[in-house]
Each structure stands twice: as structure tokens, then as C-alpha cells.
Amino acid sequence: SMLEAMTAMQSSEWLHSQLLRRPPIRRTLEVPSIEPAKDGYVGITMVTGQQWLDFAAMVECPQLEENEQLRFQIGRWEHRDFIRAQIGPWLAERTVAEVVELGQLFRLPIAALGNGSTIRDTEYVRERGAFVPNPAGFHQPRPPWLMSVCAPAPPRATAAAGADDGRPPWPPRENPQEVQPPDLPLQGVRVVDLTAFWAGPAATHLLAAFGADVVKVESIQRPDGIRYSGGMRTDVDDWWEYGWVFHAMNTNKRSVTLDLGSTEGRRAFLALAAGADVVIENFSPRVMDQFGVTAEVLLQANPRLVVARMPAFGLDGPWRDRVGFAPTMEQIAGLAWVTGLPETPPITPRGACDPLAGVHAAFAVLAALSFAERTGTGQLVELPMLETVLNATAIQAIEHEVFGVTLGRRGNRGHGGSIQNIYRCAGPDDDWIAVTVRDDRQWRALIDLMGHPHWCDEALSTAAGGAQSADDIDRRLAAWFAGQPRDAAVERLAGAGIPAAPVVSPSLVTENPQLLARGFFERLEHASVGGALYPCPPFALLAGQDRWLRHPPPRLGEHNGEVLRERCGLTDEQLATLARNGVIGTRPKGL
């Protein structure tokens, strides 16, 4: 359902509250995020503690290093005024281009903001050919995956209604051989998962839910950074096992640690790849080159292998070695430009493009697996996150090219003709309601509920009339909802067929009755954290299936012995040697 899909695109903050023992999160922005420079706004995203320290060095503010709480995104909001006071003068002296260039030297995710008028003119789009002609006379983003052996179909002209009525249907298929269907669609598919943070694990989370055997490969030298990027527990010994996004996106997987910088680690990894169907990673391109396990090496070891790579900005081109996270893509591709109020700076939507990139990656992997099954040929599949987001924001560039219009920020109203916003409700709590009125029937129903107020004259008797007077209608509705208890108002509007919902903290979505009835949350027991509710894929259960989640997220290196014996043929003595040499382990190095 759409509700489940949108909930899946959140970062499972209810797990943050439970695992880190924090109250429900409130409204915040990332700090720093979109900040004013000398000649415009610059997008800044600091995810890891090391990035924060490097950023402090770049902006020449050593005082930002002193408070350890600032190394975590979630700890910066309460210090936002202090942070902006420190970095503001430095940014004000430099142009956006100068800040971006320095950011790249420090390998930090910093970018210029894009919008519909600028997206197609970026160096990346021009040199990578990321937009292609549409037969209707405009340009659109190409599909966000590049395949080394096959390719997506190019845009073709839209067929006129009924143009193919006289064509014969698909030819009949030969009857397939009778085989016993697997319990799950991807049962038997082996995936070696090198991904980290959110986008890549979101892809393999879906593959694992549908039955693939996903082996997550980390190292004790560098565990998946999302294990502790959003905060950490200081009262437990195994604090790296409490990362809430890690928990949400790594159910049904097994964990192996391998130091790919060592000969023994690379040898074991190549053995895993030789027996796998998929290897997937989302490092910057140079990482796999440095390890010496490029797509060419992997395909030589296993010609049927699907090698999926998810770099931020592609495997070649002018931005190849840049660093970027989902908020960086949202800033570059225009999503941030249209988010926020008209009179305020743009706002980064905060990560929605991570799961979006994950869904695209999972789809492309399945397409490449189908090709390999039919032809016996594996291939490299390249999935730049930026191009996924360019597809999500395509309307902005098309609107500018075709109509000369640069879409901007409209708050919660959106760019359609609906009457839409969120409104503060009565009561001592911070209660808000989200309302959308799409047509005359819904508008008349809302007028009826409000008791036919005197200001609703003939000019405002239709939804179109209300939309044309949006500012006045907003004020009128805000005044009315300010006198209504939220939950009662939601029930009355929904009962009248008007789309309405309470605005709640994402930490509290586990109380949503529809999500509970749909079985979106399933409880698992984890050896470190105990019982917790985990998100499922946003689909109804398959026929004969009783649950999506079979195993909790793995502890670091939990399955070293099991997987390396089974897949690589290692003996207990060899495993002990690898552990002594730091090639494998179950604790981050240095602890």
C-alpha cells in the first residue's frame, strides 16, 4: 500500500527511540544543511563523526571538535545557533563554487543547489549524457541503471489511443516443465552484500525478504558506518550493535567480516563471489579498485555473476570521485529546491532518496539476474544514486525546458490544484492535521462540516475557486482547525470522504492502526537489544507466507564460521588463523 511504502521510506525512528532509549523525535533540520555562502546557498551533509571533524578543519573552527555530541547528526540541532555562528562568517567570505571545491579536497559531501533551470546544465549531466531526447520534443533523464551487456529500451513515441488494436497479442509460451515452486521467489539466489549506510542495504533488504541468501560483508577495520552514525549507547559494551537504521535494513541477512586489504581476506571474498549470483556494493569507485576486486576480476572468477555498483556519481565522468549521500543528491537534483516555504531557504527532505535508490537497484539486479538465467551471461550493472534522483525530479527540468517555468517552494500545497496544507489543532499538545481537498465533492463536504461559514460565497463554492484564493482559504481553515481537537477532526473529515490524517512523530507510527492491521511491523528477538518491531516490505504477504522477516539483523561477524566453512571450505584452524591476523572478527578493531 502507499501508506506502507511511505513508512518504509522513513528511517525507522521508532527503533531509534527503542534501541537508544530516546524520546520520540521532534521536528528538526540537519545542521549544517543548506547554508548561505557569498553568492548563494550551498548544501552540506555531515553523516559520520570523521566527516564532522574534517568539516571543522575545513571551516577553520577547531571549537566544533570539542563537543563530542556534535559528531552525530542528531546531537547538533540543540546547538544549531552556536554552529551557524561559527561557520557563518567563513561561508560568507567564499562563493558556492569555492566551498564545493574545498569540500571535495576534504572528501566531504558538499554541493551546489540545483533546480529546474540548472539541472541539465551541470557538468555531470552534460558529460555523462544523463538526459536523452524524448520523441515529443523535450529531454528526460535516462533510466538510472547502465548495463555492460544489455540496455534499457530508449524512449519511444507514445502510441495513440487504440493504435495497436489490430495487432495480435503475445504469442503463446511453451508449457514450462513441471517444477516444485520455491517457498519464496528468490530462494536459492546468493547475494554477496558489500553495501553500507542506507541505499545499498535497502536494496538487499528487499532481496533478502523475497528469499535471497544475503551475506553482508563488513570488516572489523571498517564496519558499516550506519551501525553508529546516528548516535550510540554508552552504557553497553557492544554499542555498535544498536544502530537503528542498520537494524531496520539488515533483517534476514548473515554477517561476515573480511579485511579486503589483506591477501587472505581478498582470497575468501573471491571464493564467495565465485559461488554467488550477485555482488553488490555502494562504495565510491576507487575503493574496489584499491582492493583489486573490480568488476572485471569478479566476472573472470564467475562469468554468470551480476556485479551491481551503486556509486553516488557513477563510475566515470567529472564527479566520479566525489562523495555524496542521499541529502547531497536531493540538493543537486532539485528536490531540496522545491521543499520548504516560499519565503525561507530550501530544505533537504532528509534521506527519502536512499530507499528510492535501493528499490531501483533491486529492480535492476532482478532484470540482470533474469538476463543471466536466460543467456548464461553476467554483467556489470551501474546504478548512480544521482540519476535515480534525477528521475524523481524530472518534472522540474521538463517544466523549464517546455514552458520556461522554474518550479519553486510552495510549502505543503504542492504544485497541483488541490487545497492542501497542515493545520494546528486545539489542545495543549503540539497537534496538527494534514488535509487535502481534491474536488468539488470534498470541498462541499468540508464546507458542510464547518457549518457553511459566511465567507464561503459563490466564488468559493468550488474547489477550483478555493484554490485560486489559496492564501485566504489557508487563513480561514487555520482559524477553524485551531478550534477543533485533532483526533475528532480527523474522524469527522475521513468519515465525510475528505483525505485527512494526524501529523505524528515517525517514532510513533507503530501505533498506527492501519499499519498494525496490515502487518507492516514484525517482532524479532535480537541477541543484544532483545525484542523489537521491524519494518517489512510494503507488500501484502505472498500466497502461503505467514511472515516476511525470518531472522533479526546480524551482529558483526556473527556468521563468520558458518559462511566461510560452507562457502569457502575453510577449516577451524584456518578460521582461527584469520581471527588472530585480524582478517575476521566480531568486534571493531581497536576495542
Distance of CA 363 to the CA centre of its chain: 15
DSSP 541-573: PPTT---S--SPPPPTTTTHHHHHHHHH---HH
Please choose, from the candidates 262, 263, 272, 338, the residue with its C-alpha nearest in 3D space to the C-alpha of residue 301: 272
pLDDT beyond 90 at 466: no
pLDDT beyond 70 at 180: no
**Is pLDDT larger for residue 232 or for residue 52?**
52
Q: Is the dihedral of CA 212, 215, 218, 220 positive or negative?
A: positive
pLDDT in the model for residue 524: 97
Task: Answer for the pair 420, 437: CB distance below 8 angstroms, yes or no.
Answer: yes
Q: Which domains does the chain have, with CATH numbers?
A: 190-394+543-580 (3.40.50.10540), 419-504 (3.30.1540.10)
Q: Residue 355 carries which DSSP code?
A: H
Q: Assign 463 to helix, strand or coil.
A: helix
Start-to-end CA span in the chain (Å): 44
pLDDT beyond 80 at 271: yes
What angle (nearest 5°) sits at the alpha carbon of residue 439, between those of residues 435 and 441?
95
Distance set, CA 489 to CA 363, 443, 485, 500 (Å): 40, 15, 6, 9
Q: What is the mean pLDDT of residues 344-350?
A: 91
Q: What tens digit of pLDDT does each residue of 373-410 get?
A: 999 999 999 999 999 999 999 999 999 999 999 999 99
E-strand stretches of 15-137 = 34-36, 41-44, 110-112, 131-133
- With cell 542498520, the residue in question is 246
Q: Does an H or E element contain 192, and which?
A: strand 190-193
- With cell 492491521, the residue in question is 517
- Nearest-angstrom CA–CA distance, 591 and 576: 19
pLDDT in the model for residue 181: 66
Q: Assign 155 to helix, strand or coil.
A: coil
E-strand stretches of 60-158 = 110-112, 131-133, 139-141, 146-147
Q: How do strand 253-257 and strand 213-218 relate by DSSP bridges?
A: parallel
- With cell 537503528, the residue in question is 244
Query: Residue 591's pLDDT band (boundaries 50, 70, 90)?
Result: confident
**Nearest-10 crossing angle of helices 440-449, 486-495:** 130
The per-residue pLDDT of the chain, averaged, comes to 94
What count of other Cβ atoms lies within 10 Å of the Cβ of residue 491? Answer: 12
Please choose, from the candidates 314, 271, 241, the residue with its C-alpha nearest in 3D space to the C-alpha of residue 526: 241
Q: Assign 146 to helix, strand or coil.
A: strand
Q: Assign 242 to helix, strand or coil.
A: coil
Amino acid identity at 452: H
DSSP 490-532: HHHHHHTT--EEEE--GGGGGG-HHHHHHT-EEEEEETTTEEE
Q: What is the mean pLDDT of residues 220-239?
A: 89
Q: What is the mean pLDDT of residues 229-251?
A: 91
Cis peptide before 32 (omega within 30 of 0): yes
Q: Which three cell numbers stand for residue 145?
A: 541503471
Q: Which three cell numbers stand for residue 453?
A: 461559514
Q: What is the mean pLDDT of residues 473-480?
A: 94
pLDDT in the model for residue 296: 97
pLDDT in the model for residue 179: 64
Q: What is the mean pLDDT of residues 480-497?
A: 97
Q: What tens digit of pLDDT does each residue of 531-557 get?
A: 999 999 999 999 889 999 999 999 999
Q: What tens digit of pLDDT does each residue of 78-119 get?
A: 999 999 999 999 999 999 999 999 999 999 999 999 999 999
Structure pTM?
A: 0.94
Query: Residue 176's pLDDT band (boundaries 50, 70, 90)?
Result: low
pLDDT beyond 90 at 168: no
Q: How do strand 253-257 and strand 110-112 relate by DSSP bridges?
A: unpaired
